[in-house]
Amino acid sequence: MPRATSGRFSRTHQPSIKSAAASSSSKNHSANEGTSAGVRNPIFNTERFGQHILKNPQIAQTIVDKANLRPTDKVLEVGPGTGNLTVKILEKAKNVTAVEMDPRMAAELTKRVQGKCVYLSVLISSTDRLLLERPEQRKLDIIIGDFVKTDLPYFDVCISNTPYQISSPLVFRLLSHRPIFRVAILMFQREFAMRLVAQPGTELWSRLSANVQLYSKVDLVMHVGKNNFRPAPQVESSVVRLVPLNPPPPIKFEEFDGLGRIIFSRRNKMVHATFMAKGVMEMLEKNWRTWCSTQNKMIDEHTNMKTKVEEVLGSSGYSQQRAAKMTLDDLLKLLSAFHDEGIHFA
């Protein structure tokens, strides 16, 4: 089969690819390229997508190296931009699926990999795939669309210079993906990244920290300064390594997250005070009645939910604890104590 070149694109798709590329006023976007003070290339005007192109080749190489890619790996890349990470991943992996929201970026990436002996396909939508080689021969797939809504293929590793506005959805989409992948190397806004790796008792320990660490091992890889991006963001960035627990803990996420929503809504208050809020009591009583109904249990109309909750908090020993200092084990024990009394959070 012939390798992909620009002349072999289907006529059906050729105009959209070219028109997206035509919005660029510059044709050279290498990793170490600079921009003059008074000139702004529209291809890098990506703020509406929350995307900033990583331009430092050394950092790009470090990110790829930290993934410890194998020749048999299938890699999912989110937010490839103009391909500074993509081309380095392609050197080591069997296949790359790149999900890009901005058609201009996808057009730049398409042009960049053509002529580099890379087998290529472009997916415009779930029913509209442009195949340039047989599926078993493809090296790079580009999906143009919203990562959160896109059907994901099988992958072993995920690498992402994450667009800011999808940071949290991306993490939880990855953790819920099956089959479980091996590792993810993810670039985030620094504050978000530090919340992912935060420990109990620290200022940044939060519901996000607990939820992510329940299902994965996450650690900090490195910090990345704002001057390594184009356009330069207003905040600093950091890279984390996320390794899903396999098998995952047998905990229903909605239940654990529901407890966390209550606990961390007032993280520095006593747990007892947080649960005594009127809205919390009403929600727990509604959930309890629903649970009794589904379990065919008689509902004692004289049951006082406040008393019931206080008994759980007292017997578990967490009534006077603060959420900011509760560990994962603490949260799981408290969740189990509530479940033993038929009190649920989702």
146 annotated binding-site participant: yes
Q: Which of 258, 275, 340, 339 is nearest to 309 (CA)?
A: 275
> What's the order of all strands across the beta sheet hosting 74-78?
128-131, 120-125, 140-144, 95-100, 74-78, 157-161, 183-189, 237-244, 216-224
- In single-letter form, the type of residue at position 77 comes to E
Give the up-direction half-sphere exposure of residue 262: CA atoms within 13 A in the CB hemisphere.
26
What are the residues whose beta carbons fall under 8 Å from the beta carbon of 289, sequence distance 6 or more?
299
The 10 Å Cβ neighbour count of residue 87 is 22
259 annotated binding-site participant: no
How far is Cα 47 from Cα 260, in angstroms, rounded to an integer? Answer: 32
Phi, psi of 253 (to 5 degrees): -60, -45
Phi, psi of 95 (to 5 degrees): -155, 145
Q: Using the Cα atoms of residue 274, residue 280, residue 282 and residue 288 in order, give the sign of their dihedral.
A: negative
301 annotated binding-site participant: no
Per-residue tokens: 144: 């143009």
Name the packing angle between helices 207-215 and 328-340 (round to 10°). 90
Q: What is the DSSP string of 260-280?
A: HHHHGGGTTSBHHHHHTSHHH
How far is Cα 227 from Cα 233, in angstroms, rounded to an integer? Answer: 8
Phi, psi of 64 (to 5 degrees): -65, -40
161 annotated binding-site participant: yes
100 annotated binding-site participant: yes
Binding-site members for S-adenosyl-L-methionine are 52, 54, 79, 100, 146, 161
Question: Which residues are known binding-site members?
Answer: 52, 54, 79, 100, 146, 161
